[in-house]
Amino acid sequence: MSNPAVPPAPRKNELQRKLGVWSATAVVIGSTIGSGIFRSPAGIADKLPGPLPMMAVWIAGGIFAMCGALTMAEVASALPRTGGLYVFCRDAWGDLAGFLFGWGQISMIRAASLGGIAITFSEYFFRVLGINPLAPENASTVHWTAAGAIALTGAFNYVGVRFAANVNNFTVIAKYGGLLFIIIVALALGLPHYGLSHFSPAIPPGSITLPAFGLALVSTLWAFDGWADLAYNAGEVKDPGRNLPRALIGGTLAVLGIYLAANLAYMAVLPIEEIRTSKLVAADVAQRVIGAGGVTFVAITVMISTFGTLNTVLFTSPRVFFAMADDGLFFRPVAKVHPKFGTPYVAITVVAALGMVFVLLLPFEKLADTFVTAFLPFYMLAVASVFKLRGTPGYNPTFRVPLYPIVPLLFIVSVLYLLGNAIVQESSRMSTLAVLGVLVAGIPVYYLTVGRRGNRLE
């Protein structure tokens, strides 16, 4: 087990610190704002068909993300190393926990995330071209286009950190600006025309139950996920003790603010009954207030948003496998750094290839549900690491989570509630248990490989 009291030895294959505070903040925003805010409101409104319940679950998701981001800001400032959550789990709970994090990433989490985002990009790409992506004869082409998008963003990241960061910075400005434009237009035109009629009654009879709230919260977490991804690149952030907390907290706050504003804007134009049946709510809102041109604008915005998120995921997540391989918990060649580009090119290739396989085999809904369920236990372990690490000599963060221990405990209790609720609900029980079963299967894999008498993979 790694000992955080002892300063970690330099990695055999170091990555250079090239990310400033703006690029680091853009990673948080870029990895979080993808397809969720454009796609999730319908499912959430269907489970909680009332203005106040719907806003409440988005606020709860934001609080969940902020509790996690505040805690990660502390741990990352003390352990600013490539690998992020993998490093936190390994240093606090031992090699088995670190291995299981990587096992979950490679078996389900990262490929499912890439696949879900890529499919949404491909669907909107076809819409911009005037082709119906939902037509049965186009299904195969949509999936192959999604695989091609993963390959392209993988190539961007292969050729350099600065190049990938520049692509991310551009798409963050485009997607955040596009979403902000939709919000301003919807509020400016919707409120004068409809007033507050769509916000009343605030809590219709039967519009909120605890089980439904829990299932809806899982959907918001798909939209909020990405707030911790910058930690994977902690070893590439300049002045990490200062910039990591700023970027993690500032980026998460920026996302929370625009998500809440977007939902208010949606309800200013569409009643809750229409939102719950609208699979493309932002496009329907734009069509209502602007016309056909608004739909095209939204389609382009979502296309840029999801393409940018693909790029960011391939910028962050390969660092997990790079760090694991450098520690001997994964195949050593995965820790290679490209001699010209200075990137973990083998790790990037592995993640991109897995994402392409998943996107060709599974539909969007399966990918999204698998991703959220599989990641929750590791989020919990990474956040809980603050309790273990704070009691270790030599732990010296530059930022400390406020309201400790309430903030990390609130996050942990929320994860336990979400997992328990998913198991109790008949509609999600089998899929949740199946995902957790795959994660548990990583334990014998560990003891048959790297965990056996201290073996390390070569």
pLDDT, residue 366, reads 57
Residue written as token pair 């990241």: 157
pLDDT, residue 354, reads 85
Per-residue model confidence as pLDDT tens digits over 346-398: 999 999 998 888 788 766 555 555 666 788 889 899 999 999 999 888 899 99
Predicted confidence (pLDDT) at residue 215 exceeds the cutoff of 60: yes
Strand partners, 216: none
What is the chain's mean pLDDT, rounded? 86
Residues 247-262, mean pLDDT to the nearest whole number = 94
Strand partners, 237: 19
Predicted confidence (pLDDT) at residue 33 exceeds the cutoff of 60: yes
pLDDT, residue 368, reads 58
Taking only Cα atoms into account, the Rg of the chain, rounded to an integer number of angstroms, comes to: 21
The pTM of the full predicted model, rounded to 2 decimals, is 0.85
Predicted confidence (pLDDT) at residue 3 exceeds the cutoff of 50: no
The Cα–Cα gap between 42 and 275 comes to 5
pLDDT, residue 164, reads 81
Per-residue model confidence as pLDDT tens digits over 191-212: 888 888 899 898 999 888 888 8
pLDDT, residue 362, reads 65
The Cα–Cα gap between 259 and 256 comes to 5
Residue 297: phi and psi, rounded to 5, are: -60, -45
Chain Cα centroid distance, residue 263: 19
Handedness of CA 329, 443, 387, 423 (dihedral sign): positive
pLDDT, residue 455, reads 58
CATH no. of 21-448: 1.20.1740.10
pLDDT, residue 365, reads 56
pLDDT, residue 7, reads 40
Straight-line distance from the first to the last Cα atom of the chain, in angstroms, rounded to the nearest whole number: 19
Q: Is the CB of residue 138 less than 8 Å from the CB of residue 126?
A: yes
Per-residue model confidence as pLDDT tens digits over 389-438: 998 888 999 999 999 999 999 999 988 888 888 788 777 788 788 888 98
Write out the two tokens for 413: 């209790």
Specify whether the backbone of 160 is left (phi greater than 0), alpha (psi in -120 to 50) or beta: left
pLDDT, residue 161, reads 79
Per-residue model confidence as pLDDT tens digits over 107-162: 777 777 788 788 888 988 888 888 888 788 888 899 999 999 999 999 999 988 78
Per-residue model confidence as pLDDT tens digits over 293-346: 888 888 898 888 889 889 888 988 888 889 888 888 888 888 888 888 888 899
Predicted confidence (pLDDT) at residue 63 exceeds the cutoff of 70: yes
pLDDT, residue 433, reads 87
Residue 87: phi and psi, rounded to 5, are: -65, -45
| Closest of 412, 419, 454 to residue 435, by C-alpha | 419
Confidence of residue 4 (pLDDT cuts 50, 70, 90): very low
pLDDT, residue 10, reads 46
pLDDT, residue 8, reads 46
**For the chain, what are the domain ranges?**
21-448
Handedness of CA 389, 392, 394, 396 (dihedral sign): positive
The Cα–Cα gap between 285 and 270 comes to 7
How much of the chain, in percent, has pLDDT values that exceed 70?
Answer: 93
Predicted confidence (pLDDT) at residue 36 exceeds the cutoff of 70: yes
